[in-house]
Structure 1
Amino acid sequence: MSGIAAEAGVSGGTLYRYFKNKEDLLESLGNHFVMRLRGTLQGAIAEQPNPADRLPLVVDIVLRYWQENPAAVQLGQLEPDFVIDYIKQVTPQWSAAIHDAVEPVLADSPAVQLGLATPDEIVNLIVRMAFSHYFLPVNDYRELRDLLLALGSSAGLDPKNGRIGSGRKAAS
């Protein structure tokens, strides 16, 4: 805690006023990252409510998340044991946020309607892909995003009212 306080430029006593120990501070920081993801998803969906854009939008945000939140990546470098435990604990929250964002679109996709996949299975895949990207980032996340969207499109994850992979790039 003293190292964290020094890095933050506050006294140890100030830090202990808000957090009882390092684990409490790290848990609060982790919760902050989840709330930030949820807010980003909700804001983007409000700006682009078209169901045909939903899955590309969500995949783009999830992959871009680490790039836009370097503190989360730095936390993983400084506290790898915490991050592994954190991922196990926070996966249900990430899944819920992503499920809320994509479920309305996935319910109308041929893959779900034919019983090839459930919305929960698709959300689980997106969450696993996001955490995989955290540990094994690519130079340009957009290439991974476009590949995942093309695979999703070929697997029938397009909503009935539009095509996700219509030859255009997903949201940048």
Structure 2
Amino acid sequence: MAAEPAGTTTSVEAILAATRAVIAEQGPGKVTMSAIASAAGVSRPTLYRWFPTKDHVLAALSDYESRLFETRLQALVDAERTPARRLDAALRFLVTYLDGLMGPNPIAADPAFALANLAASLGPQTTTFARLVGDALDRVPAVQAGRLTRDQAADILMRLAISNYLLPHPDQEELVANIRGFAGLPRRSITRAAG
């Protein structure tokens, strides 16, 4: 992707968000540049100015999704003052972020692509989660006892989020409560934002 002049970030983000929506609906193999341009509400020349090929769009999409994960999680943990509240907000985020990012069922459109995308994002997002949540992960009983590191606890929590996305729990609030209990928090929310 070319460097973005001032004021174009919104257009590029609109293109990438639209690409995700088109992929969720059609699968990446059937996505065309025309479909992306139409979904993003931009002309094809504008699309080609930023992304000369579909492969360029797909590569940029991965970076875009990593940035979204980080900025959304950062905003949540920054809003909380105590480690327990940061962890609580981060756990709710983990249970819900994939639905908002990828939509309700991108697996149906192209299972191989969706699973590869989830697998490729796991490592970087786990690292981001561990870094941003930081000392709040020390509240996890297995971390307190020295049986897990913060990074290992973050990995388990990320894998729980992905497994919930692939096989959704019938009651999301119950799942969040269960994860809170696993993480050494009260089963009821303690964050203002999570309510």
Structure 1 residues 33-72: aligned runs within 5 Å: 33-69=65-101, 71-72=102-103
Find 1:29's aligned residue among 30, 53, 61.
Answer: 61
2:89 maps to amino acid:
L
Q: Does 1:93 align with 2:124?
A: yes
The worse-fitting range, judged by mean Cα deviation, of 21-30 and 120-129 is 21-30
Counterpart Cα distance in 1 of 2:140 and 2:49: 50
- C-alpha change, 1:74 and 1:23, in structure 2 (3 Å) is farther
- C-alpha change, 1:89 and 1:55, in structure 2 (3 Å) is same
Shift of 1:74: 5.5
- C-alpha change, 1:76 and 1:92, in structure 2 (3 Å) is same
1:37 maps to amino acid:
F
Shift of 1:76: 4.4
Counterpart Cα distance in 2 of 1:124 and 1:9: 37
Contact 1:33/1:72 (<8 A) preserved: no
Please give the secondary structure, in 1, of the residue aligned with 2:183: helix
Shift of 1:48: 1.0
Contact 1:66/1:134 (<8 A) preserved: yes
- C-alpha change, 1:79 and 1:23, in structure 2 (3 Å) is farther
Gaps of 5+ in 1: 154-163
Counterpart Cα distance in 2 of 1:63 and 1:44: 14
1:42 maps to amino acid:
Q
Counterpart Cα distance in 1 of 2:38 and 2:77: 39
Contact 1:59/1:145 (<8 A) preserved: yes
Contact 2:126/2:154 (<8 A) preserved: yes
Contact 2:143/2:150 (<8 A) preserved: yes
Please report the TM-score for the alignment, with normalisation by the length of structure 2: 0.69
- C-alpha change, 1:67 and 1:109, in structure 2 (3 Å) is closer
| Equivalent pairs, count | 160
The worse-fitting range, judged by mean Cα deviation, of 4-13 and 38-47 is 4-13
Q: Does 1:8 align with 2:40?
A: yes
Counterpart residue number, 1:169: 189
2:123 maps to amino acid:
P
Counterpart residue number, 1:143: 174
Counterpart residue number, 1:159: none
1:86-111 per-position Cα deviation (integer Å, ceiling 9, x unaligned): 22222122112210133312246553
Question: What is the alpha-carbon root mean square deviation over aligned residues?
Answer: 2.5
Shift of 1:147: 0.9
Identity of aligned residues (%): 28
Contact 1:60/1:145 (<8 A) preserved: yes
Shift of 1:11: 4.2
